[in-house]
A and B are shown apart, each in its own frame.
Chain A
Amino acid sequence: MAIVKPKVDAVIVGMGWTGAIMAKELTDAGLRVVALERGPDRDTQPDFAYPRVVDELEGSIHRKFLQSLAKETVTARHSSKDTAVPYRQMGSFKPGTGVGGAGTHWSGCHFRALREDFNLRSNMKQRYGAKFIPEGMTIADFPVTYDDLEPHFDHFEYVCGTSGKAGVLNGAKIPGGNPFEASRSREFPLPPNRNYLGAELFYKAAREVGYSAYPIPASNASAAYVNPYGCQMGPCNFCGFCSDYGCLNYSKASPNASILPVLRLRKEFELRAHAQVLKVNLDGTRSRATGVTYLDADGKETEQPADLVLLCAFSLFNVHLMLLSGIGKPYDPVSETGTVGRNYSYQNLNRVTLFFDDSVQANGFIGIGGGGATFDDLNGNQLDNAKAGFVGGGVIWARQPGSGPIRGISTAPGVPNWGSAWKQGVKDAFRHSFYYEVQGACMAYRANYLDLDPTYRDAFGRPLLRMTFDWNANEIRASQFLVGKALDMCKVLNPKALSGDAKKDGEHYNITRYQSTHTCGGAIMGTDPKTSALNRYLQSWDVPNVFAPGANAFPQNNGYNPTGMVGALTYWAAKAIREQYIKSPGALIHT
């Protein structure tokens, strides 16, 4: 017998960035909101307090801030012909858990998408002809434009205290920023952070090769800051514990530091931690959600009725919940029908490492997650895709979130994995090497998708989400092209040794090696209910009182980190709920 809680206006599943933004916006509009978070409650004090938080063993090995795969995970396979096996140990991507979600352990790279990222398919067709898009590649235009989202990109940056330099301000190019970015309506809230050695040398190398380097927009505060909600941030002290860790210093923007201090005081808002949502409940018509069922902290099945259900879990688990609840039709890659699970994409991440002698003080232990430098000369319309031979671009960047010996020390080519030669190798490399990364876009394909696994179950008895994903020739070519450009650029710096990990022809996706937590798609936004799960307001076509903001909505992934886009889309959806949906609940787009 399930416990039934009093009905509320809105229930939010997950208290990461999207959940916190929705809770703020909807309580602003006067709604009563209950948020259900599967993990524990967390706050800077005591959870990210120095010194305990900087224990590398707990943070990067015991994975204190990540979800336990023992409870929920996915299965994976390279093609629909294979049998999927569980993602048993954390590797390729790192979903968070607990209040703050992946927004506590992210790095802080905070990009806007380029104008042309929004209409990728039509842009490729226009520039190179329809035939340039390979068979099986299912890229699509976003159903929103850069101009639709600009105010929301802007607001989210101000909430996060993003540190950077505008390159195009109200249509005018200004020096120091990205000359290829879409126009901003305001300068960044904070100036760029200072450069560590690798970033300083990145500017030098980029200049010599002719690229226009600019500071990575970083939600790691370069100075003291108070955001529009009154939440305070302190200047980043380059502690070196950014990715994998909660911020000890109120410097990295997070739901915990940037939004929750306000939410926690609101009477209209209730946060229930250790509340594991099992499914969204639908009424007899299957076109209206009545609330959600969850396990409370004690494991008791509990029903939370609500007029509005916001799926604000990590992108993969939004898709999982939709499939488990029967929201929308599951995608079938053979008949190419159905929408939920369609267009799963990822990120094409590659690294080059530069090794120097001991006169070069690279000090990789000095770290700032989102700081550093990058350029867009090989991204968006700057790249001649026909010449390069692939769809989608990417960025090359210098970024140093902080290295520690437990997180691993890259050694120069030829150094063995153990013995005295390894000891000498780590000693030589630790303070005198740094890396640049190539972050490439990842296209969507008919054959890469998400569905429910027929065999494996999670700790709550539900089928696991199954990921069918492999690299395609397009992404392998992109990897080789972009890593080649990165290596050429690095040679300017005369490193003692240089290594790069471009993908090889025919290389398969390796889920054991950390690459990126930018899992995208699966419940994409679009203009056609036959090929998208969500409309342009991130509202389910099939169950209009369910919204699913997150990277799950991206029809494909671009060369940037998704968080800036995810935040902007969530504010955009919240605005539609506040200004349209509340007045007249129902589908916001009629087909």
Chain B
Amino acid sequence: MSDEKAPSPSRRQLFKSLGLVPIAAVGLAGCAREADKPADLGPAPGDYKPTFFTAAEWAFIQAACDQLIPADNIGPSASQAGVPEFIDRHMQTPYASGDIWYMQGPFIEAAPQFGYQGRLPVRDILRVGIKGIDAHCAKQFSGKSFAQLEHQDQEALLKSAEAGKLELENISAKEFFNQLLNETRMGYFCDPKHGGNKNMSAWKMIGYPGMRADYTNWVEVRDQPYPLPPVDLDGKRG
């Protein structure tokens, strides 16, 4: 019985991947203390060195995420919140290698109501998609990569991927876009322990109290906004 209570292999692997955290966690702790100024969006997450993405892929991820969640006066941008770091780390979890997806063939086309029927797990959907978009850009914009394009060109490309109007090699641009958007939103709103949502800045933007998980005294309060700032899984206050 005691053996059965040990974390399952996939959970153990997840722990292991989270073992990569220390550098980021130290940075986070350092910044949490100076985070009280409203304008301060936390650390510049530029120090993170990707261990999954290549340099070219990393440039794409940073540029694309900031198109999806741009810098403005509403809240942090994706890169200010550490989304690229989240995605780089998330791609190294069992989830992103297809651990909980049915991955056996044959892989046949089906109506969209049946979901993605290709053979790539999330991390390869991103890889193959990035390569496809950069190849498309090189052809269309005289050798430039996506990250080197003007903002409006980047935005237009993502819009046509979202609408399924962009033809890429080996992958549906729409499927790629959906996975990229999902990953970006997850990185924006996840617990900071996963690398994104630095300083709980995305939670503060929407007023999410994070991991408090006890609202006994607030269920019936109607006349004032919930007053407490967020806490994360480590017990830090935002």
- B115's contact among A91, A195, A297, A406, by CB below 8 Å, is which? A91
Contact of A430 with B102 in the complex, beta carbons under 8 Å: no
Known: A89-B101, A409-B206. A239 touches B219 (CB 8 A): no
B-chain residues with CB within 8 Å of residue A240 when the two chains form the complex: 213, 215
Scan residues 32-84 of chain B and give those whose CB is less than 8 A from a CB of chain A. 67-70, 72, 74-75
Count residues of A near B (Cβ-Cβ below 8 Å): 75
User: Do the beta carbons of A427 and B205 come within 8 Å of each other?
Assistant: yes
- B215, A238: Cβ atoms under 8 Å? yes
Contact mask for chain A residues 252-295; partner B; CB cutoff 8 A; 1 contact, 0 none: 00000000000000000001011000000000000000000000
Interface residues of B in 173-213 (CB under 8 A from A): 181, 184-186, 188-191, 193-194, 202-203, 205-209, 211, 213
Q: Are B216 and A41 in contact (CB under 8 A)?
A: no
Other-chain contact of A56, B99, B190, B206, B224 (Cβ < 8 Å): B190
| Segment of B19-27, B103-111, B130-138, B140-148 engaged in the interface with chain A | B103-111
Q: How far is the CA of A73 from the CA of B100 in the complex (A)?
A: 10
Cross-chain contact B186 with A406 (CB below 8 angstroms): yes
Q: Which of A101-138 contact B (CB under 8 A)?
A: none
Smallest beta-carbon distance B169→chain A, Å: 22
- Asked if B104 contacts A456 (CB within 8 A), the reply is yes
Interchain CA distance A50-B74 in the complex, whole Å: 32
Q: Are B116's CB and A404's CB within 8 A? A: no
Q: Are B100 and A51 in contact (CB under 8 A)?
A: no
Known: A361-B226, A406-B189. Contact between A511 and B115, CB under 8 A? yes
A426 / chain B contacts, CB cutoff of 8 Å: 206
B182 to A, closest residue via Cβ: A61
Q: Which of B95, B193, B214, B215 contacts A61 (CB 8 A)?
A: B95
Closest chain A residue, CB of each to CB of B93: A62
Interface size in chain B (residues, C-beta < 8 A): 71
Q: Is the interface of A mostly helix, strand, loop or mixed?
A: loop
The answer to the question of B11 belonging to the interface, with a C-beta cut-off of 8 Å to chain A, is yes
Provide the bound-state CA to CA distance between A179 and B14, in Å. Answer: 50
Q: Is the interface of B mostly helix, strand, loop or mixed?
A: loop
Of all chain B residues, the one with the shortest Cβ separation from A419 is B70
Chain B CB within 10 A, most for which of A52, A54, A76, A418: A418
Chain B contacts of A358 at CB under 8 A? 225
Nearest chain A CB to B149 CB, angstrom units: 16
Provide the residues of chain B in CB contact with A7, threshold 8 Å: none
A337 at the interface (CB under 8 A from B): no
At the interface, yes or no: A170 with Cβ under 8 Å from chain B?
A: no
Q: Using known A-B contacts A430-B206, A508-B113, A512-B115, determine if residue A420 contacts B70 with beta carbons closer than 8 Å.
A: yes
A-B pair number, CB within 8 angstroms? 189
**Residue pair A40, B104 in contact (C-beta under 8 Å):** no
B-contact bits for A48-78, CB 8 A (1 contact / 0 none): 0011101111100111101011100100101
- If the complex has contacts A51-B233, A55-B191, are A405 and B208 also in contact, measured as CB distance less than 8 A? yes
Question: How many angstroms from the CA of A531 to the CA of B69 in the assembled complex?
Answer: 56
Cβ contacts under 8 Å, A66 to chain B: 100
- Minimum distance in angstroms from A553 CB to a CB of chain B: 27
A68: nearest chain-B partner, CB-CB = B100
Q: Give min CB distance, B63 to chain A, whole Å.
A: 14
Given contact pairs A70-B100, A85-B114, enumerate 8 new A-B contacts (beta carbons under 8 Å): A40-B4, A54-B211, A61-B186, A62-B95, A86-B104, A87-B114, A238-B215, A511-B113
Instruction: Identify the B interface with A (CB < 8 A).
Output: 1, 3-5, 8, 10-11, 14, 67-70, 72, 74-75, 93-95, 98-104, 106, 108, 110-117, 155, 158, 162, 181, 184-186, 188-191, 193-194, 202-203, 205-209, 211, 213-216, 218-226, 233, 235
Question: What are 26 A-B residue pairs whose CB atoms fall within 8 Å in the complex?
Answer: A40-B8, A41-B4, A50-B213, A57-B186, A62-B93, A69-B100, A70-B98, A70-B101, A70-B102, A83-B110, A85-B117, A89-B115, A195-B220, A196-B220, A237-B216, A238-B219, A239-B213, A273-B4, A361-B223, A404-B189, A405-B189, A405-B206, A409-B206, A418-B184, A508-B111, A508-B113
User: What 8 pairs across the A-B complex have the smallest Cβ distances?
Assistant: A405-B189, A239-B213, A430-B206, A41-B4, A512-B115, A510-B113, A273-B4, A366-B215
Measuring CB to CB, which residues of chain A are less than 8 angstroms from any residue of chain B? 40-41, 43, 46, 50-52, 54-58, 61-64, 66, 68-70, 73, 76, 78, 83, 85-91, 194-197, 200, 235, 237-241, 248, 271, 273-274, 297, 358, 361, 363, 365-366, 404-406, 409, 417-420, 422-424, 426-427, 430-431, 455-457, 508-512
